[in-house]
Amino acid sequence: MFKGIFGERVFKAATLATLIFFVLFFTGIIISIIFYTNPGEVLKILFSAEVLFAIKLSLITATITAVISIIIGIPAAYAISKTEFRGKSVVDTILDLPIVVSPIALGAALLVFFNTPAGIAIEEHGIKFVFVVSGIILAQFTVVSALFIRLMKSSFDSINPRYEDVARTLGCSKFQAFFKVTLPLAKNGIISAGILTWARAIGEFGATVTLAGATAMKTETLPIAIFLSLATADVEKAMTVILILVCIAMIALIAIRKAVGRGWLI
C-alpha cells in the first residue's frame, strides 16, 4: 500500500494529523475554560477562604502522600526490581491493580475495610480515617503509591547491577551499596516519579470523596472543591479551581522535564 516516497509522505501526514487533532482537542478544552472565566472574578474566587483552604489542604495532603509513597515505595520497588523470589509475577500483578482499578472502587474498599473488626479497631484505638483529613492521605496513598513503585521499578531496572557489584568489592555492605551507589544513580528517577506521584495525588478525587467525604472547609481538596461547586452550579468557581489544577499540573510537568533533562539516567 502506498509504495515509495508517496507512501512515506502519506504515512507521515496521517500520523501527524492524528497528533495535531489530539493537541487541538486538549488545548481547546483548556482555552474554553479560560474564555468562560472572567479574570477579575477568578482573582476574587482564588483568594476566597474556601479556595485558599482547598489549595492548602491539597498541597499538604499530596506532599505527605508523596513522601510516604517515596519512603515505602523505594525499598518495595527495589525488591521487585532486583530480588528474585517465588510468586514475583503475582506480586507484580497486585501492584498494577491500584493503577487499573477505578479510584472510587478503591475508596469504597477502604470504607468497607473500616467497617470490619480490624478497621474498627484501628479507627477506635489508632488513627481515624473515615470522613477526616487523614482519610484523604490514605485515599491518595492507596491510589498513587503503586504508580510510584511502578515508576521506580523501571528506574531501578535500568540501573546496571555492575555498579553495585563493583561497590561491594570495594568494601560496601549491601546497605552501603544501596545508599551510596544505587540511590544516587536513581536520583533523577526518584525526583520525577515523586513529582508525578505528587501531581496525581493532587488530582485524586474518587477514593478521597468516598473515604473522606466532601465536606466544605474540612475535607475539601481542589478536586472536591470542583465537585462541590458543580453540585451547587457555581460554574465560575469550578472553572477557577480547574485552572489552578491545570497550573499545578503544568508546573509539575515542567519540573519533571527539568529534573530528567539535566541528568544522565533516563
Partner 1 sequence: MIYIKNLLKNLGDFSLEDINLDVQDGEYFVLLGPTGAGKSVLIECIAGLHKPEKGEIWINGRNATGLTPEEREVSYVPQDYALFPFLSVKENIEFGMKIKKYSKFEINQGLKKMVNLLEIENITHRNPSTLSGGESQRVAVARALAVKPKLLLLDEPLSALDPRTKQALWIELKRIHRELKVTTIHVTHNFEEAISLGDRIAVMNEGKIVQIGTPGEIFRKPKSMFVAEFVGADNLFKGICTSKIEDETSRVSINGVSMDVFAAAKKDGECYVSIRPEDIVLSKEICKCYADMNMLKGKITEILDKGILIKVVVDAGIQLSVLLTRRACLEKELSKGDSVYVIFKAMDVHLF
Residue numbers of the site for partner 1 (CB under 8 A)?
Answer: 160, 162-163, 165-174, 176, 180-181, 184-185, 187, 264
- Which CB sits closer to partner 1, 44 or 168? 168
Closer CB to partner 1, 44 or 187, in the complex: 187
Cell of 235: 460554574
Contact 193, 148 (CB under 8 A): yes
Nearest to partner 1 of 56, 174 (CB atom): 174
Distance, C-alpha 215 to centroid of its chain = 23
> What is the CA 43 to chain-centroid distance, rounded?
27
To partner 1, the closest distance from the beta carbon of 266 in angstroms equals 13
Contact 151, 200 (CB under 8 A): no
Q: Amino acid identity, residue 232?
A: T
Instruction: Give the three cell numbers for residue 170.
Output: 570495594
* In the complex, minimum distance from the CB of residue 176 to partner 1, in angstroms, rounded to a whole number: 6
| Closest separation in Å from C-beta 169 to partner 1 | 4
How far is Cα 160 from Cα 48, in angstroms, rounded to an integer?
Answer: 51
The residue among 33 and 172 lying less far from partner 1, judged by its C-beta, is 172
**Least separation, in Å, of the C-beta of 192 and partner 1?**
16
Tell me the three cell numbers of residue 68.
510516604
Handedness of CA 114, 116, 117, 118 (dihedral sign): negative
Cα dihedral angle (239, 242, 247, 250), rounded to 10 degrees? -130
Output the smallest distance, CB 165 to partner 1, in A.
Answer: 5
Which of 166, 231 has the CB closer to partner 1?
166
CB of 198 to partner 1, least distance (A): 24
We find the least distance from the C-beta atom of residue 168 to partner 1, in angstroms, to be 4
Name which of 8 and 165 has its Cβ closer to partner 1: 165
Nearest-approach distance from CB 45 to partner 1, in angstroms: 46
Q: Closest CB to partner 1 among 88 and 128? A: 88
Q: What DSSP element (H or E) covers 262?
A: helix 235-262
Please state, in angstroms and as integers, the Cα–Cα distance from residue 143 to each residue in 12, 158, 228, 250, 263, following that order: 38, 25, 21, 21, 28
Measured from the CB atom, is 180 or 218 closer to partner 1?
Answer: 180
Angstrom distance (rounded) from CA 22 to CA 42: 28
Residue 147 phi, psi dihedral angles, 5° rounding = -65, -45
